[in-house]
A and B are shown apart, each in its own frame.
Chain A
Amino acid sequence: MSFGNDIFDDMDNNPFAEPSEETPVLEQETTTDTVESGTAEPPNNTNDNNDTNINSTPNETTPVTTPGNEPPVRKEEPPQPDLETTLLPERKEPKLSLKVRVTKIERAGTTSNQQENPSIIFDVSTNIPTFRRKLYRNIKKTYEEFNNFFKYLNGSLPESFIPSIPPPYTNYGIENHEDFAKLLKNFQEWFNRIAMDQLILRKEELAFFIESDHSTYIPISKYKLPATGLKRKTLKQLSPPYDEVIELSEFRPYVKSLHWISKDLQSKIVKSSRSRKSLGTNESNFGHGFMALKDLNQIKQNSNSVNKTNTASNAENQLYKRFGKVINAVGNIDSIIATLDMSTLYDGLEWIVKDTYVVKEALTNRHLIMRELLNAQSNTKNKQETAKKFRSKRDINPLKVDESYRQLKEASDYEKKLTFKLQRITLNLKYEKENWLNWYKKKLHQSIKEYTVQKINYERKKLTILEKIRNDVRKADPNGGLSRLGRENLIINDNKEADDSNRNNGLTTSISSQGVEGDSWAGETRRRSIMEADRLNRTEFDDSINGTDQNEPDNEDDEDNISGDLTATATTTTTTTPTGKMDESLMNARDAATLLGTATF
């Protein structure tokens, strides 16, 4: 290397001046380095900025937009206009673009393979020169391949936070609509994140990965982490070296606690979801108990028909039966909610947990490199001392002197290399950090939103179902229950009006509190007709309610708009779902059944 020679020369000529000059020298050298490696880039630098902007915008818009990220970085730059270009030339020229569209998820083979190793099918269009073509269709990669690729990237690119691969399955369970949509969405997001990173795009391994045949990809290039295995573990135990970049030195513990808290949250979700599930089961049992009461009542009725008139006890039986069914359904909904808790928030957190781990390890890598640099520095210093010693003794063996010079040169070479690497890493990670934080926030927000939306949906369904039985119970005993609370008029009046017309319609007419006009209990009006969906979803009760459902088709348009609005985030990438059938995107009966793990219908 040229600068190596220079140093050697310098050392040779002026050894005493050398050590103190190290850093300034480095700066100079790096500039020269860029001149060499950048191949006539520097002159274009300022112009390039504009170019890249122009280039980047169209490129970035399709996969994922990160324009918000780069401009501020550039604003910060002026004091050191050269640093980024010299250290991270890739960032300056994001001419490369990669557009990926994930189209399908395939699960095949054994059950465990289906679950753990789905194949992702996607289309690619790119302008990266390492690719042989510009357009690829129906590329099929297994999850394992993704993992391999990720490992490679993670090992070979300490400068970036490599996005972790999303979990191979969701808590919806495999082989259902929700799972499919969710996985699709996740991988799409992953590709988008990959495409954002110019450093990754510049890896020719990416081309190898994409161009390799299905299920054959193994990293071709070598990659090496700064330390692995036991050594890594031991080094991690040491207190981190002094870090002058406060941003990053603070970032690692932050990410670490994020990681742990998210894990903790996950375990809490698992627990609460488990308990909710068993709550649901218990509620269902409770409902069955009521249904059994009805059977019992029938027996009784048969055995002593003397006591009651047949019609009365029949109505009673009907009441118990329906009440039981309602409770049962509520239990089922609770089970569904439990599953949804898992598949929305838990899965979201799962990715966050994975990613925080990667980020943390990337930061650890940086620490390790810093440590290595420190070693290298002290090594250089030692070598220099020896060299000096030899110099001072004129009568020493010239061979030895040469040897010490050679060693000194090697050491300082290595140190230079490391310094450069570290600087590059530090700079890039600073950018990446912002990037990642944005992603994290978005992801968290998204998961919570999904979670909430599903919660609302199913709590509403619960409410609807509960309200369905309301009048039945009310009617059973006009002098009991609510009348004690002085509320007998409340429903009885409704009843009288509704009774004749809606006997067959299952009493749902007047008492549902969630109408098109909004929630009866809330002050504000929320225009909506989710109620429709609610009813459609609970087919178990439709034996008596079916009529009403078809009576109100006029709401359908509203439904599309608003419910789409409501659930838009929950089902963002379920592009396959036609807008008219938003119910399906929520959950259809079959999926609900799979969610429950048991057939409820």
Chain B
Amino acid sequence: MNFDGEDALAAPVWDDLAPTNDKPLEDITRISNSVDQTTDINIFNDDNAINKEIDDISSNQRLNHQEELRDFENPFETSALLHNTSPIFDNQTFTNKESNNGNTMESENSILNQAEISDHLTSQTQNDSLLVGSSLLDSLAPETDLVTSLNQDSTNIFNPQSSDEPLFASTFKSPLNLSEENEEETTHQQNNIITSNINSKQIQLLFKAPRIRRRPLKRVANTTSIDTTATSQPIESAYATVKTQESINSTTVSSTDKTTDTMTNISDPLSKFVTEKQKILQGSQTNSAQDSITKDFKNDIVEQATKPLFDLTLESPELKKSHENSNDGTEHSTDAIFSKASDKFQKESSADPTSDTRIDSDTPLHPDELENVVPVLLEEEPAMPLMKFEIEVIDPVTVGEMTSAHVEYTVISKCDGLTPNYSQVNRRYSDFRWLYRQLQNNNWGKIIPPPPEKQMIGKFKQDFIENRRLQMQNMLIRISCDPILQNDNDFQLFLQSSNFTFDAKTREFYSGSNASNDSNDLSEIQISEIKLLGQEDANIVMKSGGLAGDQRKGFMSMSLSFSSYPKYQEPDEFFITQVENCELIEEQLSNLYRALESVDTQRNDMSNLVLEFAASIDALSNLEPTKKTAELLTEFAKVHKAIKETLDRKSLQEALTLGSTLDEYIRSVASVKAIFNQRARLGYYKVIVENDYNKNKTQLEKFGPSNGKNANNEKRKRAESDFNAISIRFKKVNDAWTSVGETIKKELSHFETEKIQEFRNSMEIFLESSIESQKETIELWMTFYQNYL
């Protein structure tokens, strides 16, 4: 992607784009990027005769919004406050609340109303602008996934947002910036709704949000591919496909129909927001067509968690294709994102028994299109083109006062597959740790490129920060080179979120990764119950103090078994030997590293001593009365200074080649150990759950076949449900355990070859540079010898 696109952007580009629908995605995204800039918006105005009002309003609102942001750090607070401060809109919030109670239609209506209001407020619509809007939508609600799109909304469309902003807050508020007041208010209301939900209902439902997002683009790709055919009536068809969330669609449709490009901008985040809301509202709307899909997702939660990551890669090429064919396609794709989100939500909800009731409540979807989606999806899965990332970690700056002082690094990432394709954010070291933990949690069994160690006392201390910067850059690059990890939402969040502190916490909360409770040991792991067991079960388990505690507190007293639960024995020989090897390798490598380290420190010492020595020689030569001896000594001193330089260079080069490779290798080994730990932990859980499972089974069997007796029957029923729950749990854990094992096997073979190659490379470079510096040294001495001795 051309990062200078904004410069190149001009009115004619737009002209070409809109009517012909031929423009490739790149152009569109570029335009959309340009839209981000207020100046660029003016260009659109020239072409499309958009009211300047909008700009003014949006800018005003932006300001307002910023003020608000300053006041409120977290969305709950803000929304609550807004709720209090804007009683005018209580009506609407009330209706929304009603929708919360299951009256989805009402909520739709309210949203629709709001959308209409917004439509009215936004002055006019034009066909061109409509198309613009669609393309904008595309770029804004991107191919990647919701999280990123949210981020983009916050970061790029609305530049001025501060980094303090929480993820969701930003998304909620982002529409406010560009939309007119009414719309802003509606969004506020929606915020209120959310907060009310959060406050009133189960917080656990929030957990779904990330998981939903984790499944982002499979659908998009499919829908877009389908939509490539559609040319004439883009909007309608698009919305038809997307029907999952009527409210969103309706707003977007209306906006595309009537509003200007800015309006579409507004609608996009809004709709997204709505999707959020709806998810929280337990997906009141589902399609009949999706029911079939939901079955797939019921299968295995672990699979769910891992699968979508693979799907992500599909989207970008597909999208491009679609964009090439038609502008409409882009619009569809954006819509598809929503649909996907809703799909996912439905999957979640289907997994969630409570939400099952609503699945069929209202589904204005076109089933045929969705049916088309499914097969396409299956075909596309195997191919996973890598997105090409360019990532730089630069510019370490110390921030903060005394106690809170830390170093922030600027992370610049460029990737064509993501929108925006360029982002620049500030991250501190602990954020990298977070990323590591989060990825570890998201991808069981994957070897995550590790961040640098926490404490690096004395390790190549000549440039600690530089070293760390390099290591972190390597880490990011490595992650971005992995087809699975590069599509991880958290990775992309990390690259793009402008309000990382909050986003990170939220994500962590949702995924139960406990990422910020980061132990120093890279190999220690945390198994998220949420990911393992799914939402409800995790809640239950968490209540009783986690899986392991579950056993102790929950069932031990009942089951009379006071013996500690059986130990986990790794059944697979492969893992046992691999773990042993791993330990061995780690030991050897860290020995090696330590040796290298002391070589390095020693070399530094020596270079200093050599310098001192040279100084002494210089002193001697100053003393020398005869010119010849003085010259000899001066030259002698010079040689030593030169030697000192070669020594310095050599130690630097050692640190950069073998040192950093070794260091990374060691950390990677820790990462490998982490996956073994994951396996072991899961195995441990498996044993525990199996234990419970067996107990429940025997308990159930005690009741014998059901007879008519009421009392017994009730007990029996309870036991049965217990048994069912536990068997589901057992199955999940078992599946997770096996799949992790498989992933590990795959990963390991890959890891070994890669690492060994890397290691050998650095060995060679090390050797070569040693030879070169050796030559240099000899040459220095030879020259000295020949000239002066």
Asked if residues B602 and A459 are in contact (CB atoms below 8 Å), the reply is no
Asked if residues B774 and A272 are in contact (CB atoms below 8 Å), the reply is no
Asked if residues B764 and A293 are in contact (CB atoms below 8 Å), the reply is no
B355 interfacial by beta-carbon distance below 8 Å = no
Asked if residues A303 and B581 are in contact (CB atoms below 8 Å), the reply is yes
Chain B neighbourhood of A268, CB < 8 A: 609, 612-613, 616
CB pairs A–B below 8 angstroms (14 shown): A254-B625, A262-B620, A272-B609, A278-B602, A279-B599, A282-B598, A296-B581, A304-B577, A456-B778, A470-B771, A480-B757, A519-B778, A521-B775, A522-B782
Q: How far is the CA of A519 from the CA of B782 in the complex (A)?
A: 10
Of the residues B605, B626, B789, contact of A452 by C-beta under 8 Å: B789
Report the nearest A residue to B772, measured CB to CB.
A521
Interface size on B, residues (CB 8 A): 60
B767 interfacial by beta-carbon distance below 8 Å = yes
Q: A289-B592, A300-B581, A441-B629 are in contact. Are A473 and B763 (CB under 8 A)?
A: yes
A374 interfacial by beta-carbon distance below 8 Å = no
Q: A449-B789, A463-B771, A482-B764 are in contact. Are A265 and B620 (CB under 8 A)?
A: yes
For residue A180, give the distance in angstroms from its CB to the closest CB of chain B: 24
Asked if residues A285 and B764 are in contact (CB atoms below 8 Å), the reply is no
Give the most central of A303, A448, A467: most B CB within 10 Å: A448
For residue A334, give the distance in angstroms from its CB to the closest CB of chain B: 9
Asked if residues B581 and A271 are in contact (CB atoms below 8 Å), the reply is no
Given known contacts A264-B616, A448-B789, A519-B782, what 12 new A-B pairs fall within 8 Å (CB)? A254-B625, A279-B606, A286-B595, A293-B592, A300-B585, A304-B577, A452-B789, A456-B781, A466-B767, A470-B771, A477-B761, A513-B775
Q: How far is the CA of A513 from the CA of B774 in the complex (A)?
A: 11
Q: A304-B577, A452-B789 are in contact. Are A279 and B603 (CB under 8 A)?
A: yes
Q: How far is the CA of A283 from the CA of B592 in the complex (A)?
A: 10
B701 interfacial by beta-carbon distance below 8 Å = no
For residue B617, give the distance in angstroms from its CB to the closest CB of chain A: 7
Chain A neighbourhood of B779, CB < 8 A: 519, 521-522
Encoded as 1 (CB less than 8 Å from any A CB) or 0, chain B from 740 to 770 comes to 0000000001001000111011111101101
Asked if residues A289 and B595 are in contact (CB atoms below 8 Å), the reply is yes
A122 interfacial by beta-carbon distance below 8 Å = no
Interface size on A, residues (CB 8 A): 68
Q: A258-B620, A282-B598 are in contact. Are A296 and B789 (CB under 8 A)?
A: no
User: Which 5 residue pairs of A and B lie closest in terms of their CB atoms, listed nearest first?
Assistant: A481-B764, A289-B592, A272-B609, A480-B761, A286-B595
Interface of chain A: mostly helix, strand, loop or mixed: helix
For residue A332, give the distance in angstroms from its CB to the closest CB of chain B: 14
Asked if residues B613 and A459 are in contact (CB atoms below 8 Å), the reply is no
A153 interfacial by beta-carbon distance below 8 Å = no
For residue B613, give the distance in angstroms from its CB to the closest CB of chain A: 4
Query: Which A positions have Cβ atoms within 8 angstroms of B?
Result: 254, 257-258, 261-262, 264-265, 268-269, 271-272, 275-276, 278-279, 282-283, 285-286, 288-290, 292-293, 296, 299-300, 303-304, 307, 316, 319, 323, 330, 437, 441, 444-445, 448-449, 452-453, 455-456, 459-460, 462-463, 466-467, 469-470, 473-474, 476-477, 480-482, 484-485, 513-514, 519, 521-522, 526, 569
For residue B770, give the distance in angstroms from its CB to the closest CB of chain A: 5
Asked if residues B602 and A265 are in contact (CB atoms below 8 Å), the reply is no
B623 interfacial by beta-carbon distance below 8 Å = yes
Q: A285-B595, A286-B599 are in contact. Are A299 and B612 (CB under 8 A)?
A: no
Asked if residues A469 and B781 are in contact (CB atoms below 8 Å), the reply is no
Asked if residues B781 and A459 are in contact (CB atoms below 8 Å), the reply is yes
B596 interfacial by beta-carbon distance below 8 Å = yes
Asked if residues B613 and A269 are in contact (CB atoms below 8 Å), the reply is yes
Asked if residues B767 and A470 are in contact (CB atoms below 8 Å), the reply is yes
B588 interfacial by beta-carbon distance below 8 Å = yes
Asked if residues A467 and B771 are in contact (CB atoms below 8 Å), the reply is yes
Q: A275-B602, A452-B781 are in contact. Are A474 and B774 (CB under 8 A)?
A: no
Chain A neighbourhood of B762, CB < 8 A: 481
B591 interfacial by beta-carbon distance below 8 Å = yes
For residue B341, give the distance in angstroms from its CB to the closest CB of chain A: 42
Of the residues A316, A444, A477, A519, contact of B764 by C-beta under 8 Å: A477
Asked if residues B778 and A452 are in contact (CB atoms below 8 Å), the reply is no
B632 interfacial by beta-carbon distance below 8 Å = yes
Q: How far is the CA of A296 from the CA of B586 in the complex (A)?
A: 10
Q: A258-B623, A441-B626, A481-B760 are in contact. Are A282 and B781 (CB under 8 A)?
A: no
Asked if residues A275 and B760 are in contact (CB atoms below 8 Å), the reply is no
Chain A neighbourhood of B781, CB < 8 A: 452, 455-456, 459
Asked if residues B775 and A469 are in contact (CB atoms below 8 Å), the reply is no
For residue A452, give the distance in angstroms from its CB to the closest CB of chain B: 5
Chain B neighbourhood of A569, CB < 8 A: 789
Asked if residues A296 and B595 are in contact (CB atoms below 8 Å), the reply is no
B565 interfacial by beta-carbon distance below 8 Å = no
Report the nearest B residue to A285, measured CB to CB.
B595
Asked if residues B770 and A466 are in contact (CB atoms below 8 Å), the reply is yes
Q: How far is the CA of A289 from the CA of B589 in the complex (A)?
A: 8
Asked if residues B613 and A272 are in contact (CB atoms below 8 Å), the reply is yes
For residue A568, give the distance in angstroms from its CB to the closest CB of chain B: 11
Encoded as 1 (CB less than 8 Å from any A CB) or 0, chain B from 668 to 685 comes to 000000000000000000
Asked if residues A456 and B785 are in contact (CB atoms below 8 Å), the reply is yes
B725 interfacial by beta-carbon distance below 8 Å = no
Asked if residues B588 and A289 are in contact (CB atoms below 8 Å), the reply is yes
Q: How far is the CA of A275 from the CA of B608 in the complex (A)?
A: 10
Q: How far is the CA of A466 from the CA of B768 in the complex (A)?
A: 8
Q: How far is the CA of A441 from the CA of B626 in the complex (A)?
A: 9
Asked if residues A466 and B789 are in contact (CB atoms below 8 Å), the reply is no
B338 interfacial by beta-carbon distance below 8 Å = no
Asked if residues A265 and B616 are in contact (CB atoms below 8 Å), the reply is yes
Q: A257-B623, A441-B629, A445-B629 are in contact. Are A307 and B752 (CB under 8 A)?
A: yes
Q: A254-B623, A261-B616, A282-B595 are in contact. Are A459 and B774 (CB under 8 A)?
A: yes
Q: A265-B616, A300-B581 are in contact. Are A448 and B778 (CB under 8 A)?
A: no
Asked if residues B613 and A275 are in contact (CB atoms below 8 Å), the reply is no
Of the residues B764, B767, B778, contact of A480 by C-beta under 8 Å: B764
Q: How far is the CA of A490 from the CA of B749 in the complex (A)?
A: 31
For residue B760, give the distance in angstroms from its CB to the closest CB of chain A: 5
Chain B neighbourhood of A485, CB < 8 A: 765
Q: How far is the CA of A130 from the CA of B632 in the complex (A)?
A: 44
Asked if residues A473 and B616 are in contact (CB atoms below 8 Å), the reply is no
Q: How far is the CA of A261 from the CA of B626 in the complex (A)?
A: 17
Chain A neighbourhood of B574, CB < 8 A: 304
For residue B560, give the distance in angstroms from its CB to the closest CB of chain A: 43
Report the nearest B residue to A566, measured CB to CB.
B785
For residue B755, give the distance in angstroms from its CB to the closest CB of chain A: 12
Q: A303-B577, A445-B629 are in contact. Are A265 and B636 (CB under 8 A)?
A: no
Of the residues B585, B749, B782, contact of A307 by C-beta under 8 Å: B749
Q: A254-B623, A286-B592 are in contact. Are A481 and B763 (CB under 8 A)?
A: yes
Asked if residues B761 and A296 are in contact (CB atoms below 8 Å), the reply is no
Chain A neighbourhood of B777, CB < 8 A: 459
Of the residues A304, A455, A482, contact of B768 by C-beta under 8 Å: A482
B728 interfacial by beta-carbon distance below 8 Å = no
**For residues 602 through 645 of chain B, which have their beta carbon under 8 Å from a beta carbon of chain A?**
602-603, 605-606, 609-610, 612-613, 616-617, 619-620, 623, 625-626, 628-629, 632-633, 636
Give the most central of B598, B609, B763, B784: most A CB within 10 Å: B763
Q: A299-B581, A303-B581 are in contact. Are A473 and B629 (CB under 8 A)?
A: no
Asked if residues B619 and A261 are in contact (CB atoms below 8 Å), the reply is yes
B584 interfacial by beta-carbon distance below 8 Å = yes
Asked if residues B599 and A292 are in contact (CB atoms below 8 Å), the reply is no
For residue B342, give the distance in angstroms from its CB to the closest CB of chain A: 45
Q: How far is the CA of A514 from the CA of B777 in the complex (A)?
A: 13
Report the nearest A residue to B621, measured CB to CB.
A261
Report the nearest A residue to B647, measured CB to CB.
A279
Report the nearest A residue to B593, measured CB to CB.
A289
For residue B643, give the distance in angstroms from its CB to the closest CB of chain A: 9
Chain A neighbourhood of B764, CB < 8 A: 473-474, 476-477, 480-482
Chain A neighbourhood of B761, CB < 8 A: 477, 480-481, 484
Q: A268-B616, A275-B605 are in contact. Are A292 and B591 (CB under 8 A)?
A: yes
